[in-house]
Amino acid sequence: MQPFRSTRGGGVRAWLAASEASLLRNLVDQVVALITPDGPQHPTGQDPKSQDSKGKDPKSQDSKGKDSKGKDPKSKDPKAKADDEIAALEALLHEPAPGTAQGIPQDPVLARLLPDGYRDDPEAAGEFRKYTEPALRDAKQQAAQQMLDSLPDGGGRVQLTADQAQAWLKALNDVRLALGIRLDVSEDFEDQWGRLTPEDPQWTAFEVYAWLGAVQESLVQALTP
């Protein structure tokens, strides 16, 4: 990725690799699915907890560690490996507990994306949520859609107006918040990541979390006069 740079008129521009654009689109899509009132449906129809660390169903591999086509999963080409990493992130973000508009969402990600108005007064919180949550969901969906509409499918140059840049900031914040909660990221993020090895199933997710932070920081700096 080439960092964001300011342009005339308050806009910004950047350049994304095809894989980076695909990753961003996938992650934003997952958050949109989470905040949609009907709740997320896993694309494979499987419970993410029934899958292995790469987002694959363990039952699709034989006792020798080969998949259903008799191939060793470790021999996959880079594109297949990238697809597996995206599938693992997808499984990480998906949870089948969206909650309702009147109650606190059971999903911890939704509980942060759609926060409670009154923590010490459940009745007042319920009334507040009933009237404000639909608008909050809609605002987040609109920001996400603006980002998706201005994100080039195959990567390349990203040219944003000031309004589109603000939508990117909101959507990126929601994606990073969702991923951070799933990973149980703390203020000691660097130490948490440092304790992992590249072979750890969560390594890629931590790497993506750090990269999202760099994208956000680059965008904020480009928008700062």
Residue located via tokens 């973000």:
93
Residue where a domain terminates, one of 94, 128, 162: 94
Rounded Cα gap, residues 141 and 35, in angstroms: 8
Checking if the pLDDT of 33 tops 90, the result is yes
Does 71 lie in the same domain as 166?
no
17 with 86, same domain: the answer is no
Contacts of 53 (CB under 8 A, 6+ apart): 88, 201
User: 88 and 101: one domain?
Assistant: no
Q: Is residue 58 located within the same domain as residue 156?
A: no
Instruction: Tell me: do 186 and 84 sit in the same domain.
Output: no
| 129 Cβ neighbours under 8 A, 6+ residues apart | 101, 102, 103, 104, 114, 116, 117
Residue 37 confidence (pLDDT): 78
- Site of tokens 């956000």: 216
Check pLDDT > 60 for residue 212: yes
CA 172-176-178 angle, 5° bins: 115
Q: Are 133 and 100 in contact (CB under 8 A)?
A: no
Residues 9, 64, single domain; the answer is no
CB atoms closer than 10 angstroms to residue 54: 17
Side chain identity, residue 214: A
3-state helix, strand, coil in the chain (%, to 5): 55, 10, 35
Residue 159 has pLDDT above 90, yes or no: yes
pLDDT band at 46 (very low <50, low <70, confident <90, very high): very low
Q: What is the pLDDT of residue 20?
A: 96
Average pLDDT of every residue of the chain: 79
Domain containing 137 equals: 2-40+97-223
Residue range 100-130, pLDDT digits in tens: 445 667 788 988 898 877 677 777 767 777 8
What does the pLDDT read at residue 51? 42
Residue 94 to residue 167: CA distance in whole angstroms: 23
Co-location of 152 and 182 in the same domain: yes
Does residue 25 sit in the same domain as residue 51?
A: no
pLDDT on residue 130: 80
157/85 same-domain check: no
Q: Is the domain of 215 the same as that of 131? A: yes
Q: Are residues 176 and 68 in the same domain?
A: no
Q: Are residues 113 and 198 in the same domain?
A: yes
The last residue of one of the domains, among 74, 94, 114, is 94
**Domain end call among 94, 125, 156:** 94
- H-helix or E-strand spanning residue 158: strand 156-160
The number of distinct structural domains making up the chain is 2
